[in-house]
Structure formats: structure tokens, C-alpha cells
Amino acid sequence: MLKDKLNAVLKIDRRWIFLALTVVLFGAIIHPLGLLSKNIARDTQNAYEFMDKIPAGSFILLDLDYDPSTAPELSPQAMAVARHAFRNNLRVGVVTYSAGATGLIEQLFAVVPGEFKKEYGKDYVILPYQPNAVAVMTQMASDLYGIYDKDKDGKDTRSMPVMKGIQNYKNISLVVCIAGTSITDIWVAYVGDKYNVPFIAGVTAISQPGYGPYLQKKQMRGLLGGMKGAAEYEHLIKTPGKGSSGIDALSLAHVMVAALIIVSNIAMVILKYL
């Protein structure tokens, strides 16, 4: 009798699990529990501290290379980093090497600069999409305007106040790359290491463990991993956003998965020795 029931548990239609997951996630969205990300990862803390120490008026390059498939994880990261930069009165140049990112960048910068009364052309500039990231990064080492002489709307970048005194990597205080692609590796190899440019990355949770060696060797000054990284950064800049609100759902979903794994393993053990 018990054996049949346990077998039924192990052979449950997976659609019931999908339904349970939907209920758990929607429940957390409709009734937030406020389960904040209380443990700030060392790498997120390092990223925050490095950015926080950059003097006001410095220029940072923000590379946003994510498309709608990774936006739920990376968009909150990008938003938090942009807010931090504007709050500290840094000048921001936005670049992308992902064709799918252009619309998302416009969405983000339609919201965040306004919160800090930042002006386009004076405090930030959005540079156009460019293919072949390696060639672009190499060119920027000698003359940034060899590639980016115009912004995304075709306006001359040299005459913009935000670009004043910016010629190449020597004038850039930090590169932040938030990407769902392997472009992060390209920044480390072709820019960070080669020209000693400080580099911070924001990546998807899937690719986060692979960047441990770069962090250990200080080839990266900090790393934000997935939605958790976004929530941690939001916590540090004291501006809760989509990352923080997503932690509730993630925590509950993880509890559910862990419970399922434990229950099914117990059932397997009982079946084995019954």
C-alpha cells in the first residue's frame, strides 16, 4: 500500500510541479514577504566599494550586453549600477555589442537619469551598437572617437560635455560590463589585463561560478551574479528595485525545489529498503 503511494509520488505528472511553482512564484509577487538578501557576497561588496571610491566627475564605461532572454536577471543589475553612478555624479558612457540590447538600454535610460536630474550629453551618452567587440575594444585603446565619433542618434560625440577629456582607456576610471554573453571574458582579456583598466562585471547566475579565477587574480574588481547580485547591490545603494522584490520568489522557489528533492529521496530510500 505504502509502496504504491510512494511510487505514485515519484511518478507524479510534472505539470503538477509546474502548477505548484506557478502558485509559489505568483504568491510571492502578490504578497511579498520581505525576505531581503541579508548576506552580501564579498564580490558584490567589492564592486560597490570600488565604484563608491571613484571621484565625482570621473568617466565610467557601462557596457550593457543583455537581451530580453536574460533581462530579468541583468536589468535590475544595470539599473542599480546606473543609479549608483548617477548618485555619485559620475559621467557615464553606455556601449553595447549585442544587437538585442539596444531597446532595453533605451528603456533603462528613459527612467534612471531622470531620478537624478541628469542630462543626456552632459552627464551621460548612449553610444551606438557596434559589431565585432574585439576590434572596437582594441581601437578604443588608442582613440575612442575612431569608433564612437557619433552617438546612437548620429550626434557628434566630441562636442558633448560628457566626453570632455576622454580619448582612450587612460581617461576611463572603470569599465562595468553587465552581460549575458561571453563578452565579459573579452573585456578581461583585451582591456582589463592588457591596458590595466579596472573592470567590474555583472553576469547571469549560470555563468557566475566560472569567473572565480578572474576574481581571485583581481582581474575583476567585483562581480554581481544573477538576481541575487542585483538584490545585494540594491541593498548596498539603499534603493530597492526588481532585484530585491525577486528575492522573495527565488527563496520560496528554492525551498520548494529543496523540499521536492528531499521528499523524493526519502521516498527512494524507503522504497529501496521496504
Partner 1 sequence: MSHTVLIAGAWISAGLTIFLFSFLYKDNPFFKIAEHLYLGAGMGWWCQIYFGVLQEKVWTPLTHHEWLVLLPALLGLSLITQFIPKISWLSRYGFTFLMGYGSGLAIPAGLATDFINQIGGTIQPFANLAGMTAFTLFNSVLMAVGVICVLIYFFFSLEHKGAIKKVSNVGIYFLMIYFGAAFGNTVMARFSLLYGRFDSLYTFSGKQYLYATQVILIAMVTYFILHGFLTRNKADQDEEAA
Total number of residues shown for the chain: 274
**Options 120, 129, 145, 195; binder of partner 1; rule CB under 8 A:** 129
Contact 74, 107 (CB under 8 A): no
User: Please, what is the minimum distance in Å from the beta carbon of residue 242 to partner 1?
Assistant: 7
Contact set for partner 1, span 64-93 (CB under 8 A)? 69-73
Among the residue ranges 41-49, 111-119, 122-130, 157-165, the one whose residues contact partner 1 (CB under 8 A): 122-130
Question: Smaller CB distance to partner 1: residue 260 or 271?
Answer: 260
Contact of 207 with 65, CB cutoff 8 Å: no
201 φ/ψ angles, rounded to the nearest 5 degrees: -125, 155
Size of site (CB under 8 A) for partner 1 = 51
- Compute φ and ψ for 35, nearest 5 degrees: -80, 85
Q: Is 30 in the site for partner 1 (CB under 8 A)?
A: yes
* 250 lies in the site for partner 1, by CB under 8 A: yes
57 in Cβ contact with 248 (< 8 Å): no
Q: In the bound complex, what is the minimum distance in angstroms from residue 89's beta carbon to partner 1?
A: 30
- Which of these segments, 33-41, 58-66, 155-163, 219-227, binds partner 1 (CB under 8 A)? 219-227
CB atoms within 10 A of CB 200: 26
Site for partner 1 contains 21 (CB under 8 A):
yes
- Rounded CA separation 201/179 (Å): 8
Run of H or E including 175: strand 174-179
Handedness of CA 76, 85, 215, 238 (dihedral sign): negative
222 touching partner 1, by CB under 8 A: no
According to DSSP, residue 154 is labeled S
Q: Does 182 sit near partner 1 (CB under 8 A)?
A: no
By the rule CB under 8 A, 159 interacts with partner 1: no
Q: Indicate the DSSP class of residue 129.
A: P
Q: Does 196 bind partner 1 (CB under 8 A)?
A: no
Cβ closer to partner 1: 3 or 254? Answer: 254
Least distance to partner 1 from the beta carbon of 180, Å?
10
Pairwise CA distance, residues 71 & 230, whole Å? 12
Burial class (CB in 10 A: 0-12, 13-18, 19+), 1: exposed
Residue bearing cell 551574479: 225
Rank residues 130 and 239 by Cβ distance to partner 1 and give the closer one: 130
* Candidate residues 9, 25, 35, 260; the one interacting with partner 1 per rule CB under 8 A: 25
Residues interacting with partner 1, by CB under 8 A? Answer: 15, 18, 21-22, 25-26, 29-30, 69-73, 99-100, 102, 128-131, 134, 138, 150, 185, 188-190, 193-194, 204-206, 208-210, 213, 216-217, 219, 225-228, 242, 245-246, 249-250, 253-254, 257
